[in-house]
A and B are shown apart, each in its own frame.
Chain A
């Protein structure tokens, strides 16, 4: 979605990041806080998408930020700082996961990178879901569980693109894959989530709610 692309770019341009980076390199180290602040959340999200654990994601996010500070001299001006930082976070998270052998616990779908067509399984009809629905912990919990049920390659694309609102190109660079792969995986992630959530959002959860008889909340 063209208009969705990316508050990241906007933030970077507004702040003149090149000047900030130059000043940090020249010794004004405290300015590094200002440099990374807009991206802290995205770094955490990228790590969480891979590791599926809050504690591990926080630890990896910290490591990534520290590493970017330590190696700021290696940053090349033709890249975006935000993308470079995310690449570090993604690499750190993947290494952490490999060390922990966590791939054993991943859903089977994660091990295949099917480029074939995805056929939806559930055709429950949803109406528009009001964002107030997210006030309910139970709904947030169900959505979180569905997300964690995706394979890693789909989850990491979905989190960066649809939850952190990176562009296709930024997502591709951060994950080290092609924009075409981002699009393919994103489509499958969205359709799989729809299938995972359709039974609940189409009826079962709504039966516990006090909406007018005969209407669905969405």
Chain B
């Protein structure tokens, strides 16, 4: 089967999505081998799909989920709020305990920072689970797009990270840097 460029362009999506008749696929493959323009269109479109398919390309704003849940909390009937109230109180207690632990570490002297330009965080819950890169200077929330060297990550508590000289990421932990 011999096909023309226009037909290739019409079938680019179906070709890349694997939704194409095998004989048409073969014809397109043969055409593309001898047509630089169609090869460029096919490769470029494949790249578009791959790049935009990366989750970093559309991130929800920081704190989105928490704000959504707060609004939902307000909508929940009162009788259920008591259960939630206990959960919130328990979470708050854990946060307070974590903060106290972090303060305790601070009383013994702040650790040497890994960067002179960095800032200590303020009020980071000590038991907050964070990730650090071996050669990095910051600690992050998991999934933060500022994380580099994703293959060398370690998970630890914020207290441990602070103790080791890491400082809060200015993006995902921005709120802890405001009043430092």
Contact = CB atoms under 8 A, between A and B. Distances in A.
Contacts of B64: 40, 44, 58, 61
B108 interface: no
Interface residues of A, number: 60
B57 A118 contact: no
B54 A65 contact: no
Interface in B53-80: 53-54, 56-58, 60-61, 64-65, 67-69, 71-72, 75-77, 80
Interface residues of B, number: 45
A190 interface: yes
B12 A163 contact: no
A114 B4 CA distance: 22
Given A125-B40, A125-B43, A183-B13, A143 B52 contact: yes
B111 interface: no
B49 interface: yes
Interface in B12-69: 12-14, 16-19, 36-37, 39-41, 43-45, 47-54, 56-58, 60-61, 64-65, 67-69
B165 to A, nearest CB: 24
- Main secondary structure on chain A at its contact with chain B? helix
Interface in B105-155: 148
A124 B44 contact: yes
Which 5 A-B pairs give the minimum distances between C-beta atoms? Answer: A187-B13, A194-B44, A1-B17, A123-B37, A125-B40
25 contacts: A1-B17, A1-B18, A2-B18, A4-B17, A29-B76, A29-B77, A40-B60, A40-B64, A44-B64, A58-B64, A62-B71, A65-B71, A120-B9, A134-B54, A134-B56, A135-B148, A183-B14, A187-B10, A187-B12, A190-B45, A191-B45, A194-B48, A198-B40, A198-B44, A218-B47
